[in-house]
Amino acid sequence: MSMDKDSLIYVPGANGLVGSGIIRRLEELNFNNIIVKPHSELDLTRQVDVNDFFESEKPEFVFLAAAKVGGIEANRKSPAEFFYQNAMIANNVIHASYQNNVTKLLFLGSSCIYPKSSKQPIKEEFLLSGYLEETNEAYAIAKISGLKMCQYYKSQYGMNFISAMPTNLYGINDNFNLEDSHVLPALIRKFHEAKISNDSKVEIWGTGKPMREFLHVDDLADACIFLMNNYNGLSHVNVGTGKDISIKDLALLIKNIVGFKGDLYFNTSKPDGMFRKLLDVSKLLDLGWKNRISLRDGILDTYKWYVKNY
């Protein structure tokens, strides 16, 4: 079952990095019936409100992009909030989608659902084969629960609910707040501010040795629409580039793009988190989708957006 240009599409999380990216791509592709309901008008953690909304709007396709997200420190400091909000959003939206006969739903998770010491690259079937990384266990458990919920509603009720597990994302509308952002926007901001104020060095958290895989949000949005139109399987699908880079090399790349002339300083009192989480993307490749935006081009694009908007 694929979307028509006038299908009624609901994208919870429309103001976030992922939701806004999906809406941009849907609009580029001339989908013209998209429901946007800001958080101020609908709190997705409130079950009765979510049910009322689904009953009155009757969306046909749902891209469940709403989530409480953040970088390593935000996850470490607020496990209760990361668990509660993400579990409630998934429970309420997935259940209301079932009760209101949504044609198809795509749930978005994260590569942190996989075990901390997973074999690399990580295949979909490695889920629940070991302990989780402590710094984001609460978020990961809520996302695993959403993914499993989609599978249970598919097998018991026959709902067409699928899940995508993206790697670390970045791009337009990212969070550049240094306290709770992810590494890539944090480093764009740190190098930019250091360049402007002629600082001699920039602080990088941890040892710089962990490896991360980065996907531009425009690529993710394209993959989500591709999966919505082409995938109906029970298993979740990894979404990434299949390539990773060390945090040190990422820092050097961003330093070069921003044009900062000073040095890097590694603050090893900050956590490294998972050592490596490279996704095996062969399932998605076999389905016929591949990312287009290189890391350098993606960072350049995000840096330009940052300079214009901050």
Of the pair 112, 225, the CB lying nearest ligand GFB is at 112
Interface with ligand GFB in residues 219-258 (CB under 6 A): 247
Q: Which residue is nearest to ligand GFB (CB)?
A: 71
270 lies in the binding site for ligand GFB (CB under 6 A): yes
CA–CA separation, 253 and 295 (whole Å)? 9
CB of 8 to ligand GFB, least distance (A): 30
CB burial of residue 157 (10 Å; 0-12, 13-18, 19+): exposed
Q: Could you give the angle at which helices 79-99 and 47-57 cross, rounded to 10 degrees?
A: 30
Counting residues that bind ligand GFB (by CB under 6 A) gives 25
CB of 10 to ligand GFB, least distance (A): 24
Identify each DSSP E strand in 76-145 by its residue range.
104-108
Of 65, 144, 204, 293, which one interacts with ligand GFB (CB under 6 A)? 204
Site string for ligand GFB, 27-56 (x = CB under 6 A): ------------------------------
Of 49, 81, 134, 272, which one interacts with ligand GFB (CB under 6 A)? 272
Catalytic residue among 98, 139, 153, 170: 139
DSSP per-residue letters across 143-169: HHHHHHHHHHHHHHH---EEEEEE-EE
Residues 52 and 102: beta-carbon distance below 8 Å: no
291 lies in the binding site for ligand GFB (CB under 6 A): no
CB burial of residue 126 (10 Å; 0-12, 13-18, 19+): middle
Site string for ligand GFB, 65-104 (x = CB under 6 A): ------xx--x-----------------------------
Residues 130 and 116: beta-carbon distance below 8 Å: yes
Among the listed ranges 12-20, 135-143, 233-241, 302-310, the one in contact with ligand GFB (CB under 6 A) is 135-143
Backbone angles phi, psi at 32, to 5 degrees: -120, 15
Indicate if 139 belongs to the active site: yes
Interface with ligand GFB in residues 167-186 (CB under 6 A): 168, 181-183, 186
Of 139, 260, 289, 303, which one interacts with ligand GFB (CB under 6 A)? 139
Residues 266 and 208: beta-carbon distance below 8 Å: yes
Helix %, strand %, coil % of the chain (to 5)? 45, 15, 40
CA–CA separation, 43 and 37 (whole Å)? 10
Which residues make up the interface to ligand GFB (CB under 6 A)? 71-72, 75, 110, 112, 135-136, 139, 168, 181-183, 186-187, 204-206, 210, 212, 247, 270-274
Kindly list the catalytic residues. Answer: 139
